């Protein structure tokens, strides 16, 4: 049986896993948002909206473009022009 994670360390571990997920998505630009939506029911845009909502809940306002840049690793329009293929787009919430 594994050792239980102390609550004082849980946020640190969750934050590290989040950063790892974001880095993974930034490195795998061949994976289109529409593919993520079809397979996992979320995409980079969803993640940026969740990021923005959680920041706001904690008293930090962040714009949609700034939240997307945190997730995409560059301005969203730049990512789209570099990596988005065809007419594929994930939903817009």
Which domains are seen in the chain, by residue range?
A: 43-83 (1.10.3340.10)
pLDDT of 9 higher than 80: yes
Mean pLDDT to the nearest integer, 67-87:
93
Alpha-carbon gap, residue 78 to 14, rounded angstroms: 29
Task: Enter the pTM of the model.
Answer: 0.85
pLDDT of 48 higher than 90: yes
Structure tokens, 68: 């997307």
Alpha-carbon gap, residue 87 to 27, rounded angstroms: 21
pLDDT of residue 86: 76
φ, ψ for residue 77, nearest 5 deg:
-60, -35
pLDDT of residue 89: 56
In terms of pLDDT, which residue wins out, 25 or 93?
A: 25
Mean pLDDT to the nearest integer, 64-89:
91
pLDDT of 11 higher than 90: yes
């Amino acid at each position: 049986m594994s050792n239980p994670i102390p609550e004082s360390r849980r946020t640190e571990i969750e934050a590290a896993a989040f950063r790892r997920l974001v880095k993974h998505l930034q490195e795998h630009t061949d994976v289109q948002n529409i593919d993520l939506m079809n397979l996992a029911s979320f995409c980079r845009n969803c993640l940026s909206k969740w990021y923005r909502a959680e920041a706001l809940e904690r008293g930090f306002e962040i714009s949609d473009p700034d939240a997307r840049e945190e997730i995409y690793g560059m301005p969203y329009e730049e990512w789209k022009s570099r990596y988005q293929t065809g007419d594929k787009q994930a939903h817009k919430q």
